[in-house]
Structure 1
Amino acid sequence: MELTISRKSISAAAAYAAVGGAVANGRLLDKAAVAAVVDASGDLVALLRADGAFKASIGIAQDKAYTAAVFGLATDDLSNALIANPTLHQGIGQRPGVILFAGGLPIIVNGEVIGGIGVSGGTEEDDRACARAGLASLGLA
């Protein structure tokens, strides 16, 4: 029986590149975005708040990143997977730190979740696009 496991996690350098790419994409969309990257356990590694971004977007971006990392799914995909069971959807959605709308994506390398990125500051479509831009900054898309 193994007593330990090894788990990969996103590096700080990669996390900073991802939040930078996401916020830069927000500027292209004329949105003041906040981007957060968490590690595989959902703990914050990097956060970047564009000038003029809403303060509330800080927590929302971090919660989106957390949700994507710990469930291993895009936040809106998680919502869609749960929607057929309203009790489960509501119960999971009320957990602290869980967000069930678009803007959070898992960061996956070689089939393993190493973190999550979350973006807040625009529409769901804007936030999703910015999170994808963050992944593209890492060569993932």
Structure 2
Amino acid sequence: MKIYREKKTISSEMGNQMAEAAVKQAKQLGIKINVAIVDEGGLLVHFRRMDQAPILSIEIAQNKAYTAIAFGLPTHEWHPLIRNEPALREGIVHTPRLVVFGGGFPIKIGEEIIGGIGISGGSADEDMACCQAALSLIQ
């Protein structure tokens, strides 16, 4: 009887490659971003801050990555889930590290979450585009 399973996780090297892809996309969009890559437990694996990226966005990027792995949902999917539920909408946003706008995605191999990516510095759509550029290395 097998009592363990092999665990997949995001490596620091892959995190670096993903950050590079995100930064390349950000340069094409003309924005400055912060990129956070976390493992499946929400611990930081790789972080990249472009020169002159917003300082406040450092923590937001990390929280987007954490939110994405904590529930297995991209951060942009949160608002539609809570917008018509006043008690949930007004209460859950006080949860530490929860971000309910675009720019955070789980990193998956098949259905298994191996990490998360969070990007902050542009608009939600720009941050999401940078995430998609990074995720294209996995998919």
Query: Is residue 2:91 matched to residue 1:91?
Result: yes
| CA distance, structure 2, for counterparts of residue 19 and residue 7 of structure 1 | 23
Partner of residue 39, structure 2? 39
Q: Specify the code of the residue in structure 2 equivalent to 1:77.
A: E
Q: Any conservation in 2 of the 1:107–1:116 contact (CA below 8 Å)?
A: yes
Structure 1 residues not aligned, in runs of 5+: none
Matches within 5 A, 1:1-141: 7-136=7-136, 138-140=137-139
Superposition RMSD in Å: 1.7
Deviation readout 1:68-102 (Å, 9 max, x if unpaired): 11111110112222223222233322111110000
Aligned-pair identity (%): 39
Q: Give TM-score scaled by structure 2 length.
A: 0.91
Provide the rounded CA distance (Å) in 2 between the counterparts of 1:21 and 1:63: 20
Aligned residues: 138
Per-residue CA deviations over 1:17-67 (Å, capped at 9, x if unaligned) read: 111111121111000111111111111111100111011111010000110
Q: Which amino acid aligns with 1:79?
A: H
Q: CA deviation at 1:6?
A: 5.5
Contact kept, 8 Å, 1:34 with 1:57, in 2: the verdict is yes
Q: Structure 1 length as normaliser, TM-score?
A: 0.90
Q: Which moved more, 1:4-13 or 1:110-119?
A: 4-13
- Segment of structure 1 superposing worse, 16-25 or 117-126: 16-25
Secondary structure in structure 2 of the residue aligned to 1:130: helix
- Offset at residue 5 of structure 1 (A): 6.2
Which segments of 5 or more consecutive residues in structure 2 lack a partner in the other structure?
Answer: none
Residue identity in the other structure for 2:138 = G
2: distance between equivalents of 1:120 and 1:41? 20
The amino acid that maps onto 1:99 is V
